[in-house]
Structure 1
Amino acid sequence: MTAEPPDFTVPEPDGLAGVPLDSRERFNYVPTEGPDMDTFVYGTLTNPEQVAQVVDSYSYVGAAVLEGLHPVEGRYPTLAPGGSVGGRLLRTADVAALDAYEGVDRDLYVRVSVPWVGDASQHGDRVAVYVGDPTLLDVADDVHWPGDGSLEARVERYVDDNDVTVRPAD
C-alpha cells in the first residue's frame, strides 16, 4: 500500500497578505542555473500550480515514498522520525528558489540528502528532502529529533543511523 501525500492547508505567512501568489516578491532569492536536483516533496510542492510560482523550470519525475519519516501538521507541513509518507520527485536546477521558498536562510527548514533506492541512472543515488523545524512551525505533535547539535545535524544523523530512504511508489 502506498502512502498518499497528506492534504495540508497552509495559512498565509505573516507579512505576505496581499502579495500575489505568483509574485517573486514572496521569496528573496537570486535565480541560479546548475545541475538538476531531484527533491522528494510531500506537502505544498506536490501541487503543480504552487511549484510554478516558485521555480521557472521543473518537472515531476515520478511518485515516491519516503521511508523512515512521517508527516506532521503545523503552520507548514514537516516531517518527524518514523513511519513513511507518499509524495513526488520534483526535478529542477533552481535549488536557490526552493531553498528560499522553504525558508532555509531563516532556519525554518533544512535540506538534507537521503539515499534513493531505485534506478540510480534516472535519479542519482540520493535525493533532497526538506525538513522543517518543529519548534518554529507550531506542529501539533511532540516531535523529537534525537541527539545534540543543529536541526540539520540531528536530521542527517537520524537519516544515516535509521536507514531512511526514498523509493519509487508501487
Structure 2
Amino acid sequence: MDVFVYGTLTEPDRVASVVDSFVFVGAAVLEGCHPVAGRYPTLAPGGETAGRLLRTDEIEALDAYEGVERGLYVRVDAPRTDGGSAAVYVGDPDALASEEAVTWPGSGPFAERVRRYFDDGEAVVRPEHS
C-alpha cells in the first residue's frame, strides 16, 4: 500500500523503526490540505503539503505508530493524480495541541468530517515523477 507521509515518517530511520519492509516511491504533494504544527504534525483543509510516498504492506504497524486506535490520527484514502490511491494520516488537532485553529467542514465527529472531505475529492495526491 502507498502512504503519503509528511512528518516523522519521511525519515528512513524512523520508518525502519516502525516497519520491517518499505520503500520510498518518490516525492509527492497533497493538494487540498496544508500542514499544521503542534505536538505532532497534522493537516488542515486548503493549500498543499509536500511529502513522500511510502510503500509498505505493514499498514497495521503504521496505524499503531500513528495512534489510530487511540483517536490521535485517522487514516483516509486520497486519489492519486496518476491513478489509484494513497493512504493519508490526518491528526486530530485537539488531541495533538495544534498551534493553529483547525476546522474541518461539516458536522459530526472529527474522523467523519475528515473522511467526508477526502471522499468528496477535496484532497488528491500528486506524485512528482522525475
TM-score by length of 1: 0.73
- Residues 55-134 of structure 1 mapped to structure 2, 5 A cutoff: 55-118=19-82, 120=83, 125-134=84-93
| Bigger Cα Rg | 1
CA separation in 1, counterparts of 2:105 and 2:61? 29
Shift of residue 160 of structure 1?
3.1
Which 4+ runs in 1 deviate beyond 4 A? Answer: none
CA separation in 2, counterparts of 1:38 and 1:162? 18
* Corresponding letter in the other structure for 2:110: L
Q: Identify the match of residue 139 of structure 1 among 86, 98, 123.
A: 98
* Corresponding letter in the other structure for 1:163: E
CA separation in 2, counterparts of 1:153 and 1:126? 19
Structure 2: which 5+ residue stretches go unaligned?
Answer: none
Report if aligned partners of 1:63, 1:168 keep a CA contact under 8 Å in 2: yes
Deviation string, structure 1 residues 40-94 (Cα, Å, up to 9, x no partner): 0000000000000000000001110000000000000000000001100001011
CA separation in 1, counterparts of 2:121 and 2:46? 9
- SS of aligned partner of 1:138: coil
Report if aligned partners of 1:112, 1:152 keep a CA contact under 8 Å in 2: no
- SS of aligned partner of 1:104: coil
Structure 1: which 5+ residue stretches go unaligned?
Answer: 1-36
Match of 1:51 in 2: 15
Shift of residue 152 of structure 1?
1.9
TM-score by length of 2: 0.95
Shift of residue 162 of structure 1?
5.1
- SS of aligned partner of 1:53: helix
CA separation in 2, counterparts of 1:56 and 1:149? 36
- SS of aligned partner of 1:106: coil
Query: Larger relative contact order (C-alpha < 8 A, sep ≥ 6)?
Result: 2
Q: Which has the higher strand share?
A: 2
